[in-house]
Amino acid sequence: MTNNHEHYQNKATEAEKGIHTDFINNMTYGEYLKLEDILSSQNRLSEHHDEMLFIIIHQVSELWMKLILHETNAAIESIQADDLPTSFKRLARVSKIQSQIIQAWDVLSTLTPAEYMEFRDSLGQASGFQSYQYRLIEFALGYKTGHILKIYEKDSMLHQTLTKAYHAPSLYDVSIQALAKAGLHVNPDLLQRDFSKPYEEDVTVRDAWLTVYRDVDKYWDLYQLAEKLVDIEDWLQQWRFRHMKTVERIIGFKVGTGGSSGVNYLKKVLDQRFFPELWDLRTEI
């Protein structure tokens, strides 16, 4: 037994001889990821132990949202370039990221009401309601709310970024344009509309998607695109539901730190729809 142990230990040592240990003139893992900056950004404003959990959950969610935006905006560009297969890969990744964000609520829900109230006042008026990346995701998916822009006037560059996204075509807008490019009849007013306005359901879009679903072989790429969009809205609504239930579990029906109605507001947004025709057609097929 001892000989076998020494044999495997020697093999392990031999295999590890190539591991780099001299980083005087080379970049390290921590330097590449800028871990010093990231890991020094969890600064509690109270002395309460659980504020660390609260900060990290929200920071991690913001990192995932950054990747969602990276992939969604790239998918929009791919669709505009008539490269639907590339968009599928990017949109599929978005759905996987969404599953990670949803699971984060399970960790936050370990925070009890009594624990949260110990440091809630330290947050002031800061609130997840103000997350600009979440607003950019909403804009990218087509839910445009102009009054929200006022929240970000404090930072002119951020306000400019949001304003640009507010006026840009959404993922659904470019998908509707893809329907028209494929020769399906779409109301021409939708193709060059004011993209800052909320999208309203249109019978020609419904009929175009119905045609796709009734002839999948002919319109395979558009069919795949439609299902990727449904995945994303499905996961987004699940994220919103878990958000609402976690908030209700921790603070009940108190007003949010940012002044919103809290749970009541979160329940209301569950009724928002991004790709309405793709859900409605399921009744008609």
Cα–Cα nearest to 251, from 268, 239, 266, 237? 266
* Three-class DSSP category at 22: coil
CB 79 within 8 A of CB 87: yes
- What does the alpha-carbon distance between residue 155 and residue 121 come to, in Å, rounded to a whole number? 24
Asked whether residue 56 is marked as a ligand-binding residue, the answer is: yes
CB 219 within 8 A of CB 84: no
Asked whether residue 79 is marked as a ligand-binding residue, the answer is: no
Cα–Cα nearest to 116, from 62, 60, 57, 38? 57
Three-state SS string over 200-231 comes to: CCCHHHHHHHHHHHHCCCCCHHHHHHHHHHHH
Asked whether residue 143 is marked as a ligand-binding residue, the answer is: no
Asked whether residue 243 is marked as a ligand-binding residue, the answer is: yes
Asked whether residue 120 is marked as a ligand-binding residue, the answer is: yes
- What does the alpha-carbon distance between residue 209 and residue 227 come to, in Å, rounded to a whole number? 11
Q: What is the DSSP string of 56-124?
A: HHHHHHHHHHHHHHHHHHHHHHHHHTT-HHHHHHHHHHHHHHHHHHHHHHHHHTTS-HHHHHTTGGGGT
CB 264 within 8 A of CB 128: no
* 132-141 vs 51-80: helix crossing angle, rounded to 10: 30
- Which residues are documented as binding site? 54-58, 116, 120, 243, 257
- Which residues are documented as binding site for heme? 243
- Which residues are documented as binding site for substrate? 54-58, 116, 120, 257
